[in-house]
Structure 1
Amino acid sequence: MPRASAKKITVDYICEDLGISRSTFYDWRTKGRAPKCTKLPNGDLRIYLTDYENWLEALEIAA
């Protein structure tokens, strides 16, 4: 079932929240360490807020 009403955030939002550069985010994405992303038709990436929160929680548990 699509999550059309779910809030989506930008890569810039995540970078600002974590205090990292875009290149770090894309490096993590290449290595499979970033949260799950959705690619829009224009090539931009969006991340569901719930996926980002779950990703952060998983990092906290692993630490």
Structure 2
Amino acid sequence: MLTISDVVEEIGVPLSTFHRWRQLRKGPRSIKLPNGSVRIRRSDLDRWIATLEETA
């Protein structure tokens, strides 16, 4: 499970962009844990990136 910081570093976008994508439901699927932190499964990030490659 990746943190938001891990994801934005890997894909090279500003944190604000990632948060906007989450609000618009355009980013990778994320999970909000009971403590309020957000995690992204590696498989969900990879799947999301693959869909971007297919539409490019």
Identify the TM-score tier after normalising by the shorter chain.
Answer: over 0.9
**Matched residue type, 1:61:** E
Q: When the two structures are superposed, what TM-score results if normalisation uses the length of structure 1?
A: 0.84
Aligned pairs for 1:25-40 (under 5 A) are 25-40=18-33
Equivalences, count: 56
Relative to the length of structure 2, the TM-score reads 0.93
Cα distance in 2 between the residues matched to 1:21 and 1:43: 21
Structure with bigger helix share is 2
Residue 20 of structure 1: CA displacement?
A: 1.3
Aligned AA (1:12): S
Root-mean-square deviation over aligned CA pairs: 0.7
Corresponding letter in the other structure for 2:3:
T
Q: Which 4+ stretches in 1 moved above 4 angstroms?
A: none
